[in-house]
Structure 1
Amino acid sequence: MKRSASAQWQGTGKDGKGALTTQSGTLKGTPYGFNSRFGDGQGTNPEELIAAAHAGCFTMALAFKLQGAGLTPESLATEAKLTMEQEGAGWKIAAIALVLKAKVPGASPEQFQSLAADAKATCPVSRVLNAEISLDATLE
């Protein structure tokens, strides 16, 4: 399986502007730039997209882990909070905090925590990131 996305850019890093497009068409010329990345400007940014990818990947991985344990979630809601830190002259993704609220009938708290931890460790996005990844999983 292969997936692709593309970026186009015009101008300097601070004053330029760019657009992101994904193979699926979900993003199609979606604007991004300095202000949307490092400020509150309109548009997206790479870190926001990584956070969305991580939340989606982890949540689906957990759904599969729960299914494998004979459990069907009523709801899984994950927020990925990404932290960037300056490192020398550049930046790095230092951490991602996954915050999960879940309703899983029939799951014990221990079983739920074990499956959530396994999903965090094994989802493909977690595995590609070189950042501290924490998980706060609440079974409601």
Structure 2
Amino acid sequence: MRTFDLTPLYRSAIGFDRLANMIDSANRNEQQPSYPPYNIELLGENAYRITMAIAGFSKSELEIQSEEGNLTIKGAKEADTTERTYLYQGIAARNFERRFQLADHVKVVKATIENGLLHVDLVREIPEAMKPRQIEITD
């Protein structure tokens, strides 16, 4: 696995210590789960979508929770009591839990399932008090 030196980021960015620490800790964590596969898309300036391949999972077997800047997506398959003999089993039907850390002011808007893909739409809503504003210069 590659290692990245984040020292220049710490030196030149003010107030991004948390971001640099997150990148650094993610870089160190080599046991990242790879199931289920997912994409993160940028849909607009402040709109994002997480698309996760969840073939074989029904709506009732999924749980999506957003709490304090963390998004957790869990899939729990019900126990299959049917006796089966597989010649080849390539479709994973195991439980999973994926966690995503959301940036400030990002919230989950909706979640949909389409063609075996779970789509979770997110939007960043910056409060008016935090948006840039023009300051008038007085005499």
Q: TM-score, normalised by structure 1?
A: 0.29
TM-score by length of 2: 0.29
| Structure number with bigger Rg | 2
Structure with more of its chain in helix, by fraction: 1
